[in-house]
Amino acid sequence: MVSAPQNISPLSLALRHPGELKRGRFLPWSNRPATANLLCRRQARRHLHCGGDRRRDSACMARAGLRRQTGPTRRLLHRAEGSNRHGSQGPVRPARTETNGGRTAMKPALVPALGLLLAACGTGRPPAKSPAPAVSFARDVRPILDASCLSCHSAANPGGGYSVESYSDLFAAGRDSAPNLVAGKPEASLLYVYVKDGNHPAGAGLDSSQTDILRRWIAAGARDDAESLAGPSFSKDIIPLFTAKCMPCHDGSPGAKSAYDLTNHAGVTKKVEPGNANSSPLYRTLESGRMPPSGKLDPASIDMVKKWIDAGAADK
């Protein structure tokens, strides 16, 4: 390392020791590399014919290149240690790092924090409301009718000529021939108009949420989903499946290959644990593919048997 004597200027010393200058080892009295000043002067001399902006840009680029070669400055080291420029502890501004173009950019460690901040701020718009779930006749409407209307509007005692005992009764006209229910038109349906005005049921009317359920159900078409929610039927779904896939091996006849009878509810439920398909030998056999011998049932049929067992394996 060559030190600059007090009576020799940095430029003269640098010219005497070009090797030291090239390796960046020459230090002036301020303990800073002199190559920055020399590079600036060289750039300025090269671009004397250009405007001041270009000379200034060339000098800045030279200083930026020197800083990248000589590592972080004292100021950046202080900031990395968590202290301010005076050495005392306190709030520390985000340290900056030089990029190839001489511009500054935030350190990569600060990018996730900025992303979290932007996510917390959001777009300033209120969150969109999720659509209301579809109204089910069996799950939502039928309980309201049974609890509040059936006592005065049953098939045996149809008050005003209107009955709500069954789904088909809802569409029948009353004494004045006015429709009790018009699918898709709540305001034309007496079932909704009476409860909306608070005239029915007698005594205490329905609350706003119950009235809204009736309105939405009628507006959506007043469909009956009782059978779809009830699950597979033993007589309509399970027995036809076993008849097509498991006969004649399980027909209950004396000459059948198996004594397990799949022609009636009593015989089928001998290997069924109602409410728990996974513990039922019938479902495990079908799901594993061991039966029927002609080939494993399709996934929809196996799932139907599972739903029937899990729903209680009722004889209906």
Q: Break the chain into its structural domains and give their ranges.
A: 1-88, 137-226, 231-310
pLDDT in tens, 198-236: 777 876 778 899 999 999 999 999 998 876 666 788 998
To the nearest whole percent, how much of the chain has pLDDT over 70?
57
Whether pLDDT at 286 is above 80: yes
Whether pLDDT at 82 is above 80: no
User: What is the reported pLDDT for 57?
Assistant: 56
For 235, how many CA atoms within 13 A lie in the half-sphere containing its CB? Answer: 2
First-to-last C-alpha distance (Å) of the chain: 100
Secondary structure of residue 65 in the 3-state scheme: helix
- The pLDDT confidence band at residue 296, using thresholds 50, 70 and 90, is very high
Whether pLDDT at 128 is above 80: no
32, two tokens? 């800073």
Range scoring the smallest mean pLDDT among 45-54, 158-167, 296-305 = 45-54
Secondary structure of residue 48 in the 3-state scheme: coil
User: What is the reported pLDDT for 98?
Assistant: 47
User: What is the reported pLDDT for 13?
Assistant: 57
Q: Which residue has the tokens 């007698």?
A: 202
Mean residue pLDDT of the chain comes to 74
Whether pLDDT at 93 is above 80: no
Q: Which residue has the higher pLDDT, 122 or 200?
A: 200
User: What is the reported pLDDT for 225?
Assistant: 82
pLDDT in tens, 170-195: 888 777 777 788 999 999 998 898 88
User: What is the reported pLDDT for 79?
Assistant: 46
Of residues 242, 231, 247, the one with CA closest to residue 314: 231
Q: What's the CA gap between 162 and 191, in Å, rounded?
A: 9
User: What is the reported pLDDT for 37?
Assistant: 62
User: What is the reported pLDDT for 62?
Assistant: 53
**DSSP output for 129-178:** PPPPPPP-IIIIIHHHHHHHTTTTB-SSSBGGG---SSTGGGGSB-TT--
User: What is the reported pLDDT for 63?
Assistant: 57
Range scoring the smallest mean pLDDT among 102-106, 163-167, 228-232, 248-252 = 102-106
- The pLDDT confidence band at residue 196, using thresholds 50, 70 and 90, is confident
User: What is the reported pLDDT for 213?
Assistant: 94
Q: Which residue has the higher pLDDT, 308 or 24?
A: 308
Range scoring the smallest mean pLDDT among 41-45, 78-82, 88-92, 149-153 = 78-82
Interior CA angle at 165 toward 151 and 216, to 5°? 100
pLDDT in tens, 257-273: 888 999 999 999 999 99
Radius of gyration, CA atoms only, the chain: 44
pLDDT in tens, 21-61: 555 554 444 444 555 566 656 665 665 555 555 555 555 55
